[in-house]
């Protein structure tokens, strides 16, 4: 009996230890009877009693499952799952069972509600709006559909662009939160024009009424059971809480919860109006008149946390460094340091941490590596060394000793050992250049704070001179986005010298010819983007610190050959066997096999700074997009990676003869180049791997990396969380963190890390933490790398998606699409009956018939209004190409509307993005087909930003100061020739973001013209989106504030239009754009006034 009791106790103890209390619970949904809650945890759906208890899993499929929605009879649950590579809507019995897939389109589909009769699921999807709608075509504004719970064709309910939509009990209205523009859903405490509001749609009338007036966030509305009021979430009291209000804009809302510090999320209700939601990662219920009740949930521990998995190391190489002997390569992959043998690819993992290592460098003896690592509370510099003397190579070594070299509470990274191995140059706190003497452990500052400002870590560089006495470094001299090469004594004495100091800047500077020459890249003679901040072509240049070396370098090929011949002959005046050494060969390692004390003394550089501008040479014969370059030891050949065609190829040029050719056709990715010490081989990365190129033959040899690593994704996510928190603290544009208790919020969110096993949840966690800062341009983003995912093709057609008959009713053939051709008879009003002889019926989602069909031959069967049928064969396009066509379609509609409303007098252009491509298109249209127009509408709505503000305001601010009259004929226009000189206005809306905020801000400040439309939230801050060691993850840091006339950051400074015009749902859905009409009216008025002011 005692043994039996002992066994029972042991079982109970084991059961209890396997139970956990889960946190970071997502999307709870309470059942209609109020007895059960469905929720998501670690990508799996569970149900649990509303009173609490042990949760039972609903989904077991290896995919991410989320957003459970109950049917109103409590018998079914709809949810979203990415088991086919994108999120689709599924439905399953509430008691468990096999889920049924309801949607087949590769656009993301997400369920919101069931219809009141439980026969359909209401869901959102990023698809095309109806042909009549004139709202901007974007996935930002999803369509809302219904699909039968038995499956079949989705039917359009609304093209308004809804989020979190729910029916009322009668089924005649839908309440939803609106979407006005771009911003993270997890941003908190914002008060601006772009924040969300609550609306109600009358389904039968297709009309919309606004019911919330708060200038901040109003979110996630649901009707009360009696339809007389609405529950929703709002930040009215500073923190997002639950409110109740009648469906009237003027009604006073009632606060139902009063949580502090963290937002309430994921509101749902039962038929007796019991509310369910999350707060601080846990689930609560709220019954009428009571206080919120935390639902205590137990869960069987799935044991997945902390399980490391083996991963091949054969790609994703972020950087590399060639060993001094050329036989090994150190590289970084997924934040770990590895060394591989050049010859056979044998690979050894040097570091084994969850934290990131980067910026690896070799010691001169090849037996040590130094690198930066972010362990503890800062970036530090470490050294890894081979211990056993009989082991000459890292890749074949057994025991590695790792030790910190420079480790303080500050960030130190980007270490570079001096050629003599005695000193380390490094960056402190991103902007300061220092040199550390290993023997004395003393540090000197070469470039103090105030010279450089790092945008992304490692974005400014420096290099040691061959004699270890000098350093060349990028120096912005306190300016923004411009850098010159500075030369500084490594001991910190003397003054800073700028050997070139070009207005075009110098980049990627390197020592050459043993320190007698400095090389760099410059855009001085290269073609540039039309926009000032676009791409540009560069050349490689050189300047000589040694006049004799310069004189020899500029010799013709024939004269230099004579000099080499003389060098090879004995100098009889100095005795038998003594050879002449020229300035260009004195440093060549292949010609200096015997080293003496005198040689070492002579190797000290003597830098001649006089008349340097007279000793500059251009090494490339034509400008191009150069990734990196390497000059041969004797300066006779320059190798460079550049892109003229598809991808980057390796080119070689001979500066004396200017003979230039492709050495190796790679079609690869940008990379740095490293030359072996003997000058015989070049090494580079290409498409994530490493390759070796013979400099004589151009033979390309891939370096086959044979290695594995154990990846602990849980530990890696914990590090990325810590890194993101620290990185934002170091780099946010506001040093005071906007008054946010950043340390406190780290504690709030890090406790959820043990409850996250996937990057969907982890990116959400980052977004929630970063959202506490109430700034733009931030949040975590996850880009899954699915294989064999669904990809719906497009036929290039628009349909009547409310049509319920046989086939698909075509409403428009998209211009430029695969059907827009002379041989096609397809037109609006026709019915698409079949795809590849598969009938389109109400019982299938027709998207399944176009899965993976892009670029393939597809047979369509069609029927015209006369009931006659025919077949046509086409090649569908991808949804991405369709999106491009839909953008062009929208701009054409806008142009036609302006032309019609103005009688052809007013021009129109839409600026799609703040980039060079958009600027070229703008210039092309404005100075082309709109040149004769009397005024111009510049539409910036739905522009997500970039860097173009100054180009645009300069282009639009032309004022005529000179005209031309050949033979007495006064010509039109005049100087400035390439600027718009007539009236203009800017259309803007809540959807302007980032640099699309700065442009209208500058346009208004410079009084160029009027702003028309809706206010724009203050988002004029430069961002760095930083990719993580897990390359599927990035997060944003708004780093550089812009300061205007208000002498404060423009972040959170809203722009008000001169003429305020809202864009109503009813109008744009029927083809009317009130904002555009107001702009035309204003421009006609200004054009008339301007015409009276014109010179005769």
- Using the Cα atoms of residue 1051, residue 1053, residue 1059 and residue 1063 in order, give the sign of their dihedral: positive
Nearest CA among 916, 947, 994, 1024 for reference residue 535: 916
Contacts of 504 (CB under 8 A, 6+ apart): 522, 523, 524
Q: Where are the beta strands (DSSP E) in 247-367?
A: 254-255, 264-269, 275-279, 282-286, 293-294, 297-300, 309-312, 317-322, 328-333, 336-341, 347-349, 357-362
User: Which residue out of 777, 794, 853, 991 is catalytically annotated?
Assistant: 777
Distance CA 758, CA 752 (A): 12
Contact 910, 897 (CB under 8 A): no
Q: Rounded to an integer, what is the distance from CA 630 to the centroid of its chain?
A: 31
What six digits make up the tokens of 783?
């880009």
Contact 1028, 718 (CB under 8 A): no
Distance CA 47, CA 74 (A): 12
Tell me if residue 794 is catalytic. no
441 burial type by CB count under 10 A (0-12 exposed, 13-18 middle, 19+ buried): exposed
**Phi, psi values for residue 725, rounded to 5°:** -60, -45
User: Which residue out of 428, 506, 521, 1051 is catalytically annotated?
Assistant: 1051
Name the strand (E) or helix (H) holding 916.
Answer: helix 916-926
Contact 141, 831 (CB under 8 A): no
Distance CA 291, CA 336 (A): 50
What six digits make up the tokens of 286?
């709220």
Using CA atoms in the order 723, 728, 731, 737, what is the torsion angle rounded to 10 degrees? -150
Nearest-10 crossing angle of helices 742-750, 759-771: 160
Distance CA 933, CA 927 (A): 10
Nearest-10 crossing angle of helices 1074-1093, 879-902: 50
Tell me if residue 453 is catalytic. no
Cα-based distances in Å from 43 to 62, 64, 65, 111, 535: 9, 4, 5, 16, 41
Q: Rounded to an integer, what is the distance from CA 456 to the centroid of its chain?
A: 13
Q: How many CB atoms lie within 10 A of CB 455?
A: 17
Q: Write down the number of H helices and E strands in the chain.
A: 13, 72
Name the strand (E) or helix (H) holding 8.
Answer: helix 2-17
**Half-sphere exposure at residue 198, Cβ-oriented, CA atoms within 13 angstroms:** 31
User: Which residue out of 772, 994, 1082, 1086 is catalytically annotated?
Assistant: 994
Tell me if residue 777 is catalytic. yes
Contact 41, 25 (CB under 8 A): yes
What's the order of all strands across the beta sheet hosting 173-178? 162-167, 173-178, 198-202, 207-210
- Using the Cα atoms of residue 162, residue 165, residue 171 and residue 172 in order, give the sign of their dihedral: negative
Contact 592, 519 (CB under 8 A): no
Tokens 């226009």 correspond to 973
Which of the residues are catalytic? 777, 994, 1051
């Amino acid at each position: 009996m005692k043994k039996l009791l002992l066994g029972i106790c042991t079982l109970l103890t084991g059961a209890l230890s396997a139970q956990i209390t889960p946190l970071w619970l997502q999307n709870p949904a309470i059942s209609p009877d109020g007895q059960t809650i469905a929720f998501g945890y670690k990508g799996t759906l569970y149900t649990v009693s509303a009173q609490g208890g042990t949760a039972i899993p609903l989904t077991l499929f290896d995919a991410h499952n989320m957003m459970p929605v109950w049917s109103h009879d409590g018998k079914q649950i709809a949810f979203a799952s990415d088991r086919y590579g994108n999120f689709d809507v599924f439905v399953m019995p509430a008691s468990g069972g096999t889920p049924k897939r309801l949607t087949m389109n590769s656009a993301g589909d997400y369920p919101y509600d069931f219809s009141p009769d439980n026969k359909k699921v209401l869901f959102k999807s990023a698809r095309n709006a109806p042909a009549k709608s004139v709202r901007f075509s974007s996935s930002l504004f999803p369509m809302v559909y219904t699909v039968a719970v038995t499956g079949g064709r989705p039917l359009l309910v609304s093209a308004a662009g809804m989020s979190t939509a729910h029916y009322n009990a009668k089924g005649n209205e839908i309440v939803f939160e609106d979407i006005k523009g771009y911003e993270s859903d997890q941003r908190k405490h914002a008060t601006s024009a772009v924040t969300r509001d609550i609306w109600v749609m009358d389904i039968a009338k297709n009309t919309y009424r606004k019911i919330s007036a708060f200038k901040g966030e109003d979110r996630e509305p649901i009707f009360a059971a009696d339809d007389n009021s609405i529950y929703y979430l709002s930040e009215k009291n500073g923190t997002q809480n639950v409110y109740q209000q009648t469906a009237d804009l003027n009604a006073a809302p009632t606060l139902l919860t009063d949580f502090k510090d963290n937002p309430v999320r994921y509101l749902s209700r039962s038929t007796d109006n019991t509310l369910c939601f999350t707060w601080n990662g846990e689930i609560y219920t709220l019954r009428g008149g009571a206080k919120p009740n935390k639902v205590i949930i137990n869960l069987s521990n799935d044991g997945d946390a902390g399980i490391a998995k083996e991963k091949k190391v054969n790609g994703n190489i972020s950087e590399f460094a060639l060993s001094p002997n050329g036989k090994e390569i150190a590289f970084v992959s997924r934040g770990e340091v590895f060394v591989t043998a050049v010859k056979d690819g044998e690979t050894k993992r040097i570091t084994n941490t969850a934290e990131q290592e980067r910026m690896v460098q070799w010691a001169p003896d090849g037996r040590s590596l130094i690198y930066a690592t972010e362990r503890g509370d800062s970036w530090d510099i470490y050294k890894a060394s081979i211990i056993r003397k009989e082991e000459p190579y890292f890749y074949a070594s057994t025991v590695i000793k790792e030790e910190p070299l420079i480790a303080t509470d500050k960030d130190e990274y980007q270490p570079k050992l001096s050629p003599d191995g005695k000193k380390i140059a490094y960056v402190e706190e991103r902007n300061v250049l220092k040199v550390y003497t290993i023997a004395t452990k003393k540090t000197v500052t070469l470039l103090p704070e105030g010279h450089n400002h790092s945008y992304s870590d490692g974005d400014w560089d420096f290099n040691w001179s061959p004699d270890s006495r000098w350093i060349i470094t990028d120096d912005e001299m306190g300016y923004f986005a411009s850098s010159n090469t500075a030369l500084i004594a490594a001991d910190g004495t003397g003054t800073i010298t700028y050997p070139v100091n070009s207005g075009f800047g110098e980049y990627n500077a390197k020592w050459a010819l043993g320190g007698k020459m400095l090389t760099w890249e410059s855009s001085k003679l290269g073609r540039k983007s039309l926009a000032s901040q676009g791409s540009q072509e560069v050349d490689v240049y050189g300047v000589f610190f040694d006049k004799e070396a310069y004189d020899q370098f500029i010799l013709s090929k024939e004269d230099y050959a004579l000099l080499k011949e003389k060098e090879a002959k004995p100098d009889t005046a100095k005795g038998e066997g003594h050879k002449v050494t020229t300035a260009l060969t004195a440093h060549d390692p292949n010609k200096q096999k015997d080293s003496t004390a005198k040689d070492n003394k002579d190797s000290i550089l003597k830098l001649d700074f006089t008349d340097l501008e007279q000793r500059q040479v251009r090494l490339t014969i034509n400008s191009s997009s150069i990734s990196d370059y390497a000059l041969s030891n004797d300066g006779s050949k320059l190798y460079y990676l550049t892109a003229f065609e598809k991808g980057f190829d390796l080119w070689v040029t001979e500066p004396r003869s200017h003979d230039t050719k492709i050495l190796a056709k790679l079609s690869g990715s940008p990379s740095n180049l490293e030359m072996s010490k003997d000058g015989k081989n070049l090494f580079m990365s290409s498409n994530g791997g490493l390759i070796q190129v013979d400099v004589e033959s151009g033979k390309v040899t891939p370096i086959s990396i044979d290695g594995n690593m154990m990846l602990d994704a849980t530990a890696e996510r914990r590090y990325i969380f810590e890194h993101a928190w620290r990185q934002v603290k170091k780099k946010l544009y506001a040093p005071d963190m906007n008054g946010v208790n950043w340390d406190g919020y780290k504690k709030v969110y890090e406790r959820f890390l043990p409850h996250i096993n996937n990057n969907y949840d982890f990116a959400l966690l980052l977004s929630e933490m970063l959202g506490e800062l109430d700034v733009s341009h931030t949040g975590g983003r996850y880009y899954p790398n699915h294989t064999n995912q669904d990809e719906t093709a497009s036929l290039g057609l628009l349909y009547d998606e409310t049509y319920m008959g046989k086939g698909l009713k075509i409403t428009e053939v998209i211009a430029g699409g695969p059907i827009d051709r002379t041989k096609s008879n397809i037109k609006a009003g026709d019915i698409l009956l079949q795809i590849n002889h598969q009938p389109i019926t109400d019982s299938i989602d027709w998207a399944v018939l176009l899965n993976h069909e892009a670029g393939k031959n597809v047979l369509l069967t069609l029927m015209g209004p006369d009931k006659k049928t025919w077949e046509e064969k086409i090649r569908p396009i991808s949804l991405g190409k369709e999106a491009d066509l839909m953008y062009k379609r929208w701009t054409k509609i806008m142009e036609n509307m302006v032309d019609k409303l103005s009688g052809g007098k007013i021009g129109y252009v839409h600026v799609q993005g703040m980039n060079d491509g958009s600027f070229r298109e703008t210039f092309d249209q404005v100075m082309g087909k709109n040149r004769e127009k009397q005024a111009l509408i510049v539409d910036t709505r739905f522009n997500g930003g970039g860097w173009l503000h100054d180009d645009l305001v300069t282009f639009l601010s032309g004022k005529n100061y000179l005209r031309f009259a050949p033979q007495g004929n006064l010509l039109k226009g005049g100087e400035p020739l390439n600027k718009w000189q007539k009236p203009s206005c800017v259309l803007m809306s809540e959807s302007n973001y980032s640099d699309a905020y700065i442009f209208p801000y500058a346009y208004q400040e410079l009084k160029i013209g009027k702003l028309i439309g809706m206010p724009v939230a203050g988002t004029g801050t430069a961002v760095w989106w930083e990719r993580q060691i897990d390359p599927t993850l990035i997060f944003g840091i708004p780093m550089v504030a812009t300061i205007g006339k208000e002498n404060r950051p423009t972040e959170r400074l809203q722009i008000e239009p001169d003429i305020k015009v809202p864009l109503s749902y009813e109008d744009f859905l029927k083809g009317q754009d009130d904002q555009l009409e107001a702009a035309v009216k204003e421009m006609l008025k200004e054009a008339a006034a301007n015409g009276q002011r014109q010179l005769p």
